[in-house]
A and B are shown apart, each in its own frame.
Chain A
Amino acid sequence: MEKSVVFNGKLLPYLLLAPQLAITLIFFYWPASQAIWQSFLREDAFGLNSEFVGLENYQALFAQPEYYTAIGTTVVFSSLVTVLSLGVALLFATQADKNLKGASAYKTLMIWPYAVAPAIAGVLWFFIFHPTLGTLARPLRVMGFNWNPMLDGTHAMILVVMAAVWKQVAYNFLFFLAGLQAIPKSVIEAGAIDGAGPLRRFWTIIFPLLSPTTFFLLVVNIVYVFFETFGIIDAVTAGGPAGSTTTMVYKVFADGRLGGDLGGSAAQSVVLMVIVIALTAIQFRYVERKVQY
């Protein structure tokens, strides 16, 4: 797509582009290239000297058992959050797609959690499941369940997953509902005439027709779990107990700040960049239509 009628201008287009390009170069390309450069350096503890060490930071990184633990945690965390939030959202969206009275009120009541900051979502869930003062932790203990997300890694993981899902369902719900409403009613009626019941119609007609939406959401959700859940993890568990909720992104933060290992942290950043670029490439490969250049 190109405009056939355009303006002539020698200087003006550059002036119009200048603010965005300047900000992008200063706050984006410069730091990103620094991250790549730093991943080949080793700095002393005071940041005074640095020497070029080639791939040593990467070798050290991949020799670290903790890094594989973090990768494992990230895989577990992102698959749980993605599958649960997509599943729950699809359930609600199919229900909201029936011509109900008050459907728009339900929609509003479903989507507002999107606006809650991840860190605050984390604090809310931490509060209701707090081992000593949580409203829902008490019934758990009464039932004889020794609930303590501050000491037990699995409990901590369950808690951050719940908070992350709670926040993400709204987004998925909105897109699933739009996707469902875009399916022509005639197709579903045709299925019904052929004698397919509601469940059969869902799995053989609706679900396949919804797959572009599902695929798009899958990629978006993975990116969400990777990056935006940082606030939830930091507010609820700070990566603990004993590193059991330290995801790859959290480790970049923790190693660089608390450990002061900037080279290692930068190497992890580069690994993450590669992952995000791959995800985005997949997204554009299959969900093309955003850009044709």
Chain B
Amino acid sequence: MVEHRPLRDLVAYIVLSLGVLIFAFPVYVAFIASTYDAATVVSGNLPLTPGGRMLENYYRAVFVGGSRFMNQPVGVLLLNSFVTAIGIAVGKILISILSAFAIVYFRFPFRKTAFWIIFITLMLPVEVRIYPTYKVVADLRMLDTYAGLILPLIASATGTLLFRQFFMTVPDELLEASRIDGAGPLRFFWDTLLPLSMTTVAALFVIQFIYGWNQYLWPLLITTKDSMQTIVIGIKKMLTTTDELAEWQLAMATAVLAMLPPVAVVVFMQRLFVKGLVETEK
């Protein structure tokens, strides 16, 4: 530091602490609401310290559900979210590491065409082509299936670009060495390239897990059965009844449960998360 003034540090501490508190406040209120009974929440006089109904509310939300607005326990929705998020993350990594391998390590006709076909997908998020995509998925009879939830969302270029960038930094000597050892392309990929790529794979997994978990519009459109909904959709459905009837304490318990996995991923795998975020830049 150029000049070290205790006062300036103090200001920094105060600004940052205020920021942290403001950031945490909505989540804290949601947590508090999930520990009271419905009447206290609806009264509009929610205390600022936790109440005694926490276990009961979470138990009801996860295992029972079944009130008039929510015919599926949240446990089912959580499972759907996990399957979707992991499916998207793994699927994207799988198809993009293979295509990046082909584009970087081979010379073949239409190589650049293939690259551009993949690259252009960066520009059109699913939101601008929702209804036609819905129709394709419906024609393939994939409504209300995990395949329908997962496949359309893994068609994107981010992973391929990321792996392509990483492969470019891998020294050519490694390839020459494994060639001298008589290894073919698949052997080289499996024994040399893949182990080297593990950090990139992990970083991409973290980012894509969060992306998949937080999807909203797509699951909203293609799931009609309650048993196939993800947890993010479930919360919205809980609140679409008239407000007075909505069981806010259960909705807030569900919101807390829906936030936990992705937030835990960011907090506990922060290094990978930051790496993934900076390198995918999207």
Name the one of B24, B119, B127, B214 contacting A227, with C-beta atoms under 8 angstroms. B127
> With a CB–CB cut-off of 8 A, which chain A residues contact B19?
88, 92, 110
Contact code string B239-282 (vs A, CB < 8 Å = 1, else 0): 10001000010011001001100110111001001100110011
CA of A92 to CA of B15, assembled, Å: 7
Say yes or no: A17 contacts B102, CB within 8 Å. yes
Say yes or no: B131 contacts A265, CB within 8 Å. yes
Interface residues of A in 211-253 (CB under 8 A from B): 216, 220, 223, 227, 230-231, 234-235, 249, 252-253
In the assembled complex, A71 has its CB within 8 A of some CB on chain B: no
CA of A95 to CA of B33, assembled, Å: 33
Say yes or no: B96 contacts A20, CB within 8 Å. yes
Given A230-B217, A290-B161, residue A280 in contact with residue B122 (CB < 8 A): yes
Say yes or no: A253 contacts B108, CB within 8 Å. no
In the assembled complex, A143 has its CB within 8 A of some CB on chain B: no
Contact code string B198-240 (vs A, CB < 8 Å = 1, else 0): 0000000000001001111100110000000000110110010
Name the one of B124, B131, B215 contacting A262, with C-beta atoms under 8 angstroms. B131
Name the one of B13, B33, B46, B155 contacting A100, with C-beta atoms under 8 angstroms. B13
With both beta carbons as reference points, the residue of chain A lying nearest to B110 in the complex is identified as A14
> With a CB–CB cut-off of 8 A, which chain B residues contact A111?
266, 270, 273-274
Say yes or no: B217 contacts A31, CB within 8 Å. no
With both beta carbons as reference points, the residue of chain A lying nearest to B1 in the complex is identified as A99
> With a CB–CB cut-off of 8 A, which chain A residues contact B12?
95-96, 98, 100
In the assembled complex, A77 has its CB within 8 A of some CB on chain B: no
Say yes or no: A171 contacts B277, CB within 8 Å. yes
With both beta carbons as reference points, the residue of chain B lying nearest to A47 in the complex is identified as B135
Say yes or no: A116 contacts B216, CB within 8 Å. no
Say yes or no: A4 contacts B172, CB within 8 Å. yes
Contact code string B123-138 (vs A, CB < 8 Å = 1, else 0): 1110111111101110
Residues of A within 8 A of B (CB): 1, 3-10, 12-14, 16-17, 19-21, 23-32, 34-35, 38, 88, 91-92, 95-96, 98-100, 106, 108-121, 123-125, 127-128, 130, 132-135, 137-138, 166, 169-171, 174-175, 178, 185, 188-189, 192, 198, 201, 216, 220, 223, 227, 230-231, 234-235, 249, 252-253, 256-257, 262, 265-266, 269, 272-273, 276-277, 280, 290-291, 293
List 13 A-B pairs, Cβ < 8 Å. Answer: A17-B98, A17-B102, A31-B129, A38-B132, A98-B1, A109-B20, A116-B262, A117-B262, A127-B29, A189-B2, A192-B3, A273-B123, A276-B124
7 closest A-B pairs (Cβ-Cβ)? A117-B214, A31-B132, A231-B216, A34-B132, A16-B102, A115-B262, A13-B106
